[in-house]
A and B are shown apart, each in its own frame.
Chain A
Amino acid sequence: MKCSVAEQMIIDHALGFLEEKQERELKHHLAACEQCRTLATSYDLAVQALQTQDIDSQAMLEPTWKTVATAVATEKRMPLQAKLTKAFLPLLAAAAVVLAILFSPVFFSDNKNGEFTRMEVIQAYADDLEYLEFGNETTATTSSGISFQEFGLSTDDASYLFQQ
C-alpha cells in the first residue's frame, strides 16, 4: 500500500469509517511504515481531544428548567398575538411591495411626478433597441451577426417584439 492511500485510510480510521478488512490492511502498513505511524498517532490525539467531554457541564448549567418553564408559560398566555404577528408581518411586507409597484410614478403614471413619464421610459427603451439595430432585422440575425434564435426567440416572436 502506498503512503498516500494509507493517509486517506488513517483519516477514515480516526473517523471510524473503515471496515474490518481495511483496518487489517492499514494495520499491516503501519507496522512497516514509521512515517504513517506518526501520522496515525497525531490523528488519534486530535480525535481524543475532540472527544473530551467538557468538565462538569451539568454543574455549569444553572437551573435551565426554571427559565424554560417561565418562557413556555409566557408563550402560552399570548399565543394568538404571536401567531397574528407571525402571519401578518410577511403579508404586510408583501402588500407594501405590491403597492409600491402599483403606485410607482415612473412606470405607471403619465403625470410628470418623477423625472420620466411612462411614455418617456418606453421611448427610451425603443431608442436603445433602435441603436442596437434590433428594429430592422427580425428574421434571422442583426447586422452585428447576433441570431435571435441563439437567445431562444422564435422568428415569429422576434417579428412581433421588434416590429416597427
Chain B
Amino acid sequence: MIPEIDREISQRFHNGDREALEVIVATCQGSLFGIGLKMLGGIHDAKDFVQDVCIKIYNKRSLYNPELPFAPWMYKIAINLARERLRNRKEFPGSDSMPAEIIEETPRHLLVDHEQSQAVHTILQQLEPKYRECLVLRFEMDMALKEIATTLDLPVGTVKTRLRRGLMAFREQWLKNGDPQ
C-alpha cells in the first residue's frame, strides 16, 4: 500500500524540516525496502537503497512541489535510483541472502514464507527491469495504472502492456520453478 504523507508534513519537508524527514522515513521505509528488495534482489542492497533514497529525497527537496502528492514524487526518485543501481551492477544479483543471525531468530513459519519470497525475488530478477518495476509498483505498492504511469513517466498504454507481458513472464517462470507452497 502507498503510505499516506499529509500535506503539512510534506510542506515542512520541502522547507527542510528534519523532523518531517524523520516522519517520512518512519512511514515509508517499509515500502521502500519492499521496492528495493524486489527490484535489486538482496537484503543488504535493499537496506542501502532505503537509506540512499531517503538521503536523495532530502537533497532534492527544493524540487518537490508541496502542492502535489508526496508519494509519487518520492517513488519516482526511488525507481530512478533502482534503475541506476541495476545499470551499474555488473554481477547478476541474488547472492545476497538473509543473514544467519536473522534466520536463527526467525520462527519456522516465517522462514517458509521467506522461501517463497526468495523464489519471487529470484524470478523477478530474471525479468527485464522495465517489466519488474511495473509489477513491483502494481503489486508491492498496490498502485493504480495512472499512478504507475505518473511515477514512471510513461503513457498508461505502455504501462498496461508492460504489466501484461511482465505478468505473463513471471507466471511462466513461477510455474517452471514450482510453487514453493
Contact = CB atoms under 8 A, between A and B. Distances in A.
Contact of A68 (B21, B163, B174): B21
Contact of A46 (B43, B50, B171): B171
Given A14-B167, A15-B167, A50 B135 contact: yes
A151 interface: no
Nearest to A82: B59
A120 B88 CA distance: 44
Interface string A37-63: 000001101110111111111101110
B86 interface: no
B98 to A, nearest CB: 8
A108 interface: no
Interface stretch (B4-12, B63-71, B72-80, B109-117): B109-117
Interface in B151-181: 160, 163-164, 167-168, 170-171, 174-175, 179
B18 A57 contact: no
B82 interface: no
Contact of B18 (A17, A46, A72): A72
Contact of A51 (B51, B54, B139, B145): B139
Contacts of B175: 42, 46
Interface size class of B (residues with CB under 8 A): 35 or more
B30 interface: yes
Interface string B31-48: 001100100000100010
Interface of B: 18, 21-22, 25-26, 29-30, 33-34, 37, 43, 47, 50-51, 54-55, 58-59, 102, 106, 110, 113-114, 116-117, 119-120, 135, 138-140, 145, 160, 163-164, 167-168, 170-171, 174-175, 179
